[in-house]
Amino acid sequence: MERSFAKDVEKLKLGAGETFHGEGILAITKALLQSGVSYVGGYQGAPVSHLMDVLSDAQDILDDMGIHFEASANEAAAAAMCAASINYPMRGAVVWKSTVGTNVASDALSNLASAGVKGGTLIVLGEDYGEGASIIQERTHAFAMKSQIWLMDPRPQQPKVVELVEKAFELSEASSTPVMMEFRIRACHMHGSFACKDNRRPAISRNAVMESPSFDMGRICLPPSTYAQEQDKIERRLPAARAFIREHGLNEVFDGDLADVGIILQGGLYNSVIRALQQLGLADGFGECRVPLLALNVTYPLVPEEIAAFCGGKRAVLVVEEGQPDYLEQAINALLRKADLDTTIVGKDVLPMAGEYVAEVLLAGIARFIEGSVPEGVDLEAVAAAPARVAELKQRAAELLGAPVPKRPPSFCTGCPERPVFSAIKLVEKDLGKIHIAADIGCHTFSTLAPFNLGNSVLGYGLGLASAAAVSPAFGKRVVSIMGDGGLWHNGLASGVAGAVFNQTDSVLVIMNNGYTSATGQQYIPSTGKNFREQPTGMTIRRALEGIGVKWLKTVTTYRVGEMVKTLTQAMTTKTLGLKVIIAESECQIARQRRLKPLVRRQLEAGRRVVRTRFGVDDEVCTGDHSCIRLSGCPSLTVKPNPDPLRRDPVATVDQGCVGCGLCGEVADAAALCPSFYRADIVQNPSRLDLVMDGLRRRVIGALANGAGKVPEAAVGP
Ligand code: SF4
Ligand code: SF4
């Protein structure tokens, strides 16, 4: 895994009277344990991958409490786990990244929401929206509304978050409805503290098992039950949820002296709103605010009485709702009309319809609202001046920097095993012409960016091959689809490979087998060879593909660019029809480095011989055309001024980040580029033989170099 929580999980054992200090995602996990969950499952994805990682590391705590934890095969499987709460009073939580994960889970979610739940059911969502998001920009809100699942968006303050997690289970039970709770990326990584409670052992668990199953036709999603379930949603569950939200004060009102205006906001945006108000001189750093606020910790369903009570007597209220469509604004307008209140609702007319509401965006929008609504007792000149003051500061900072901060486009890590595959595809294209590439989700999606720009479409996780289905027959040349091992096990085996074999699609699939779901933090997958409990699985990609009927199947080590070019060319040109699969195999470099570094350190400490490989470029041989950089894209391969005063083009050079993967040398060889790359083995704790050989080499090289007036560098490290 990307990060070990082995030490942090000790905090999960804290009990009443003790204080938790730490990261948001760990606090949420502790709140689950305090809520008495019987099971937890999920699928990794930012910003909630760490919740899965924490639980993987907390196996002894979970075992002791009898809690079942499962690293689900995908989000649909995680959502289906919640079936345990349909018939039995078992509390459970599942987690994934939204909206993509919610898309995958939607079939199970609809059925879960229709059947309803007995045990409190919480779906923890990493709402990956806005700056830094890695997915399509949509909101979970629509899913909540269409399936009638309650949606919470807690105010990001740890005691409040923990309290609301516990309340979410109660809300779920009081209204027989699953609850979604969304967390933005900052909330997940925010540090804070809260007073702990003892963890609660679940009444039904691995340690306290049930003896007989329950059968209730009313819980089956088939007519006539589905008709009754829909009625129940409207007649009982929704009113029960609204009553619970109101009676338990899940939404929060913060009073302010500017009583003729107010702001209704999504709870998750509270900190940014306060920061903007602080800049406008209308709040302090501790949250004391002059503008009354209604923080919606539950954004669906709204409670009409709460909205009416807050808006009543106010001339204007601003709705701060991130993203589109403006569900809350429309609903609040409708509620006020029904309540016959004439408060003016302002929202997307002063705030942008799309994009993240960072403090700067909110500052401009709230300033416009205040200027337009003219609350009594506010210095409007100071309000109008605030955005200009912040803009001026930014301008000043930019001037002091001198030059704009260089952009850092996302790319493969240094030494990534997936990069060579795309170098190979580039070389194949030199001979066969441009190829349609059906890309997929994973680190390999970076292939769509410079310098490769390989990938004509991205349709979803594990859907690379499926997305080529209608393109393949429309081309005179075979289409190449890309899929990661994570995507394969997530759904690609069925939706892509089985579909292509079944339909006898004549196409080429490259499966990146790097051993983990690398993009989300190197979590284990079936073909890692072991599960999160470190138990061997015996599952391999090759066996799965053969079992499904793939006949043309080759495995190539990704770093062997020449062999990859040959295999790809063969797959593209063979007379054999049907699906041709190349398993491109090499371990994720980040995982490899994390695995090797402690081993190397221990070997060095023990005085054992360690060899590290690095690559370099001979300045005198480099022609300065930089085709090696364009073909490999390695961040460690860069340029420096040409040391030869008679040559102007900067030469290629390898910086200190090089991990010695060898790709640059392989590419230079496969593409018949200049022979400027050299390999250097750095030997630490050299053996006697190393020292003898080093002395010998120095003498030979020295003798040769002395003629050219040069002295050889040390070939053996300390
Ligand atoms: S995390 Fe691993 S697979 Fe992903 S880009 Fe980095 S090295 Fe490559
Ligand atoms: S060997 Fe070449 S491609 Fe590999 S990390 Fe070093 S510079 Fe980059």
- Closest listed residue to residue 62, CA positions, set 24, 29, 99, 23: 29
- Please tell me the number of the ligand nearest to residue 513's CA: 1
Q: How many CA atoms, within 13 angstroms, populate the side-chain half-sphere of residue 536?
A: 2
DSSP, res 297: S
Bridge partners of 195, per DSSP, are 19
Residue nearest to atom 2 of ligand 2 (CA): 664
Helices 24-34 and 158-175 cross at an angle (nearest 10°) of: 40
DSSP, res 446: G
Q: How buried is residue 211: exposed, middle or buried, by Cβ count under 10 Å (0-12/13-18/19+)?
A: exposed
Query: In a mutational test of the pocket of ligand 1, which residue from 518, 528, 661 has the highest number of ligand atoms less than 8 Å from its CB?
Result: 518
In whole angstroms, give the CA distance from residue 421 to residue 424: 5
Residue nearest to atom 5 of ligand 1 (CA): 412
341 Cα to the center of ligand 2, angstroms: 67
State the pLDDT at residue 642: 92
Q: Which atom of ligand 1 lies nearest, measured to the CA of 446? A: 5
Yes or no: say if 462 and 492 are a contact pair by the CB < 8 Å rule.
yes
Mean pLDDT (10-residue bins), the chain, 718 residues: 77 97 95 98 91 90 96 97 98 97 98 98 96 91 98 97 98 98 93 97 97 95 98 98 98 97 98 96 94 98 98 97 98 98 98 96 97 92 93 91 82 95 97 97 95 96 97 95 97 98 97 94 92 92 98 97 98 98 97 93 95 90 88 90 89 92 89 86 93 92 74 45
Residues 438, 443, 446, 451, Cα dihedral to 10°: -110
Secondary structure (DSSP) of 36-97? T-SEEEE---TTSHHHHHHHHHTHHHHHHHT-EEEE-SSHHHHHHHTTHHHHS---EEEEEE
| Sheet of strand 298-300, all strands in order from the earlier edge strand to the far edge | 68-71, 39-42, 92-98, 121-127, 179-183, 150-152, 298-300
Bridge partners of 511, per DSSP, are 483, 583
Yes or no: say if 358 and 131 are a contact pair by the CB < 8 Å rule.
yes
State the pLDDT at residue 200: 98
Token pair of 327 as six digits: 């569900």
In whole angstroms, give the CA distance from residue 661 to residue 588: 11
Q: Determine if ligand 1 sits within 6 Å of the CB of residue 443.
A: yes
- Closest listed residue to residue 280, CA positions, set 352, 358, 156, 379: 379
Q: How buried is residue 264: exposed, middle or buried, by Cβ count under 10 Å (0-12/13-18/19+)?
A: buried
For 280-358, where are the alpha helices, taking DSSP H only? Answer: 304-311, 327-338
Q: Determine if ligand 1 sits within 6 Å of the CB of residue 412.
A: yes
Q: How buried is residue 55: exposed, middle or buried, by Cβ count under 10 Å (0-12/13-18/19+)?
A: buried
Q: Determine if ligand 1 sits within 6 Å of the CB of residue 587.
A: no
Q: Which atom of ligand 2 lies nearest, measured to the CA of 634? A: 8
Residue nearest to atom 4 of ligand 1 (CA): 443
Yes or no: say if 100 and 45 are a contact pair by the CB < 8 Å rule.
yes
416 Cα to the center of ligand 2, angstroms: 9
Query: In a mutational test of the pocket of ligand 1, which residue from 514, 528, 593 has the highest number of ligand atoms less than 8 Å from its CB?
Result: 514
Secondary structure (DSSP) of 185-210? HHHHH-EEEEE-------SSSSSS--
- Closest listed residue to residue 280, CA positions, set 422, 439, 388: 388
Which amino acid belongs to residue 242?
R
Q: Determine if ligand 1 sits within 6 Å of the CB of residue 651.
A: no
672 Cα to the center of ligand 2, angstroms: 17
Q: Determine if ligand 1 sits within 6 Å of the CB of residue 418.
A: yes
In whole angstroms, give the CA distance from residue 586 to residue 564: 12
Residue nearest to atom 6 of ligand 1 (CA): 413
189 Cα to the center of ligand 1, angstroms: 22
State the pLDDT at residue 4: 73
Whether cis (ω within 30° of 0) applies to the bond prior to 99 is yes
In whole angstroms, give the CA distance from residue 38 to residue 26: 18
Q: Which atom of ligand 1 lies nearest, measured to the CA of 414? A: 7
Q: Is the dihedral of CA 425, 426, 431, 433 positive or negative?
A: positive
- Please tell me the number of the ligand nearest to residue 522's CA: 1
130 Cα to the center of ligand 1, angstroms: 23
- Using alpha carbons, list the distances in angstroms from residue 312 to 211, 246, 341: 54, 17, 7
- Using alpha carbons, list the distances in angstroms from residue 247 to 155, 169, 181, 308: 18, 15, 19, 16
Instruction: Output the ligand 2 site: residues, CB below 6 A.
Output: 414-415, 615, 632, 634, 636-637, 654, 658-664
pLDDT tens digits along 158-169: 999 999 999 999
Q: Determine if ligand 1 sits within 6 Å of the CB of residue 411.
A: no
431 Cα to the center of ligand 2, angstroms: 25
Residue nearest to atom 3 of ligand 1 (CA): 588
State the pLDDT at residue 627: 87
Q: Which atom of ligand 2 lies nearest, measured to the CA of 663? A: 3
Q: Which atom of ligand 2 lies nearest, measured to the CA of 659? A: 5
- pTM, to two decimals: 0.93
In whole angstroms, give the CA distance from residue 171 to residue 485: 39
